[in-house]
Chains A and B, each alone.
Chain A
């Protein structure tokens, strides 16, 4: 099935269609997707790194699967996430850009008590995006359903560029999605950020 639909930064509209209903398909192992187009994983790595380096507020949203050290793999991924964050932080222009690391500790609805400065909630992720003026973000360690929900809300109501570092088959609703995430894959993305440091124009 071919589709002309592209998963692009919003705001799309109040209730955007799910990307899968518009014909967007998930990548196979070794692949990723950019705006719904299947590409080799390395191409997506470069694109994601460029997005982080050109954003005013590049942000990582780690979810419960990496925030809680429930097995060795999770602890390793948490380490890799921290490494990626530190790499982005070192690679951006501190006068113009601010890298952030904001957790999604669980999925309990917290409206209206959420503190958007310190956490993000899947039921109203737009509050954290708006409050911190986040223009590029990456989800990692968020359970599939909650990630889909968040990604759709973000696409519907904000202009933020979304990246999904998914441990399963990827997310159609992200603008760029990896699949089969491992600690090594996250570190590889950090290496791409390092590699492109200084070659991407910072935001005006």
Chain B
């Protein structure tokens, strides 16, 4: 397959031809090509259709700032829309399709938009689609949705993995052009830890795209030698295909490394991309400069591109965009393209320079003081129309036009911390100034050091300065002789009034006329200009268009550009896939799962699990023949109250509180008293927030004068520990107490039911008396089981039955569950999960997180008298404020279903016959279940003056799901309200 536009030279490996397709046609390129360069080599100029007007477009640049050549790369689940063909590294088997056209690129029916430009000007959607109102949802919006956007998603799950990591360095260098390479050489030789990152797959920046920058040694020779040396230094990390996309606080940078996008097939264990957090002590921004265009009528045809890109394709990729080219420029740099293309055998039909005193760098037709005013060639440039200095018009045939309006320092990262650049008249561009992010300096073209000589020296000098701040002395390396031609430019942004449209923002189809319209309508500030016209809001973020737009606005407003200013630069510099931000945190790995000691055993039993925060807990244990969870849960709950059951309660927080002031400390964090708790006893503790609202509850067990073990709810374990450390370190550092989290250290099981004691007596070693007399309700002890394994026993009950919690060091947790099952077989011991645990505690009337929901106080919970008046504790003072002590405040009650209907949690409570509005709302249901013991649905809830309304029938409303039930207010203690079973 011939590559008609391919010439000699370039940085390609011609021994590696690569086959690819574009819009289902097959082509060939070489290793080292991008999709854009390979298409141009094959004579393909038409690569896309513009966003709004569907105008035929070709590639405009040779880099990541590309606005036009957006293609859909790859197929199937790896399909990636809006990929810039200029940065898509060619690989064998690459498939790409153009976007935003139907049915084809050459014949796009939506091109009809281009015939109605005056209806589709900037902001047209603010003035249309309003009438008739009914049409919006059914007609306009669907049409707009179909027409809008570029590219389409595959809608398939992303099969690739993404990874994240952290890198640390002394010096981060962003960009591996002349400035960055010189800086890396300087710092690397001085022994500093250096990261040199470049978004390109080949390092070198403009050294790879220009001819003859290093006159003596030559671009390639110096580049190779430098890269070889840097690669050999163990303290230097070269990162290709790596975009530093954001500058964050304190020298932290975001870096996206593309690992496998350029490979047809990659190792299954390699991530597609890695997002690195880079902690740098110093950073040098060497991101270079990007050329900008000039706006003129029909300046957007395929074949029209930046002059610097035109010669980059010739020099680096050995491609002539066309045999006959022209140049339009306002500065000396544009002429270089004519020189380079002539050297590659192209015919330069014209160099059109707006300056009357334009230089001539070679033997090409020069039209000084002239402007390109129009072009022809809808699907590809055929000719340009030039207004000469004498006012006459000349038509010049050509297939490619290189446009140069000057070069903009790529300073985005210098402004990510809300810095603003300043205007520099010498190069007619914005340059970094003012406050740079901490530790950052700028060198090379990014800092207006526009010549190769200046860039090399600027980079080296910046490295010396940065290292000096770190106390490292670095010597300047020998730098090659380099071109040093000063910038010669006359600012020129757009060719004057014509009837047609001149494009400023190619990707969002914003023209000079749109900027004028914005000005006319009063959207004159640069921030309004952007949002009203959408200039600079596309995926290229205005890299080519921001300055052109605000230059026109400045002219219209009669202000200098410096005064109009720029909008704020924000990360990311170029798009970053959401998958890269997620990294490994997807699907099952979204967050780590915590497993209980009995997890493996429970899996063997076929338990169904539920997520409780980060934990996986057994929810219920279905037995063969059980088809509905209610069957299982009812059975488990009945079995506990009938004989004995075992439940894993390891997940509740456990905190060791040790020290001579341990009791005083507990007195402070709990609203009830602990100073007099005897050794060998447990006590329920209620913890309040400082505002008097109940925060958490648990039990504290005293094993010694200065040793307590405190429990928390599962959900609040982390928060309570944090709170306790706050009290210890920030409020009462005078207390001599230590807190040690031991949640994971002990496997803990509830053993509950009338046969609980008998079961435990089979495994507790002789010598420990756990009879009712020897180990009364609320006792605790350290003992041993199964022949010497240390254990802790607590006689506490969540279910209201005779119950204990037994704890062993977690390594023995799995073993203990198996032993309990074996020893308990004679009692029909039943494992039970969180569902039955919930049924039992609701039947008993124990509140949990549902009741301690951040809105309820001790009084609301019916525990008002537990708040000690004899000592200070967190929350005591504000417990007494009016808002929490009102006479008709809510109170925790039990509710029984009157007619057998469910009483769903979250339902709201009303007096019988009351209107179901917020004004009459008297409370809510916090927990609900079916009680197999009462054989009806029951609930716990809060209702105004609940304590005075025992026996009253109320209405339970569930308007969201549509339901109404009646319930009787009862004591929350449905089972054994006298507590006889507890003390048996």
Q: Do A and B come from one complex?
A: no
